[in-house]
Amino acid sequence: MNKGKQVAALGAFARAQREENRRRLIAAARRVFERSGYLAPSVDDIAQEAGVSRQTFYRHFDGKLAVAMEFFDEQHQLARKVWGQISAEQARDPQGARAWLTKMLDGYEQDRNALRAFFEMGAVEPTFTKAVKDLVRDYMAELTENIPLFRYEQDGSVQDRERFADAVLLVELILEQFNSYIIHYALLERNDMLDALTRSFCRFIARYP
């Protein structure tokens, strides 16, 4: 192998190693945060879980919040897909709408420990709080793929503005109820909550045919 090829091979190996270390750190952060929440763990805890040095951690992230935001983004992208998995036909059918809500809640329950960590982040990290505000916009964009009623706009006729406001509040309601149920401060039982959310969803669809 000539010198040029050797240099290229070494460069490719170094890039692959950096990418692998980054993946390991994000995966380790997930395990640490799900196990211990966001507030208690340190950068050293995450580096140790990943099997790398503190110095290696800081080559990839400038602190705990940075790696936590990567973890959050991964979770967010997975959740977005589920929000978009309701068809126009399902939206007009209470059973279909409830099945979709149930599937979403099942996913949130599976990620219960991650959500608790994010709840802690929201209490202390303004950057994370801003990212959470973007969730509604993103989920509405997913819903709009099949249900145009959820299109995100604030201009237009009075009815368009009313529809927009109702759509935002509906998505926020679903998120708030799911989060309260997961964090264990919901007043409603699971089935009662799903029934109530289904009614709210179907009323919105029926109001703007």
- Could you give the C-alpha distances from 188 to 31, 80, 192, 194, 195, in angstroms and in order? 30, 25, 6, 9, 10
- Write out the two tokens for 197: 């959310």
Query: CATH topology of 1-62 equal to that of 65-207?
Result: no
Highest mean pLDDT among 8-22, 112-126, 145-159: 112-126
Residue 16 — very low, low, confident or very high, per pLDDT cuts 50/70/90? low
**Boundaries of every domain in the chain:** 1-62, 65-207
Dump pLDDT digits (tens) for 129-155. Answer: 888 778 889 999 999 999 999 987 767
At 93 the three-state DSSP class reads: coil
CATH number of 65-207: 1.10.357
First to last CA, the chain: 68
d(C-alpha 63, C-alpha 57), whole Å: 8
Locus of tokens 């529809």: 163
Let me know: does 86 contact 95? Beta carbons within 8 Å.
no
pLDDT in tens, 52-106: 999 999 999 999 999 999 999 999 999 999 999 999 999 999 999 999 999 999 9
Confidence class of residue 5 from pLDDT cuts 50, 70 and 90? low
- CATH code of 1-62, in short, is 1.10.10.60
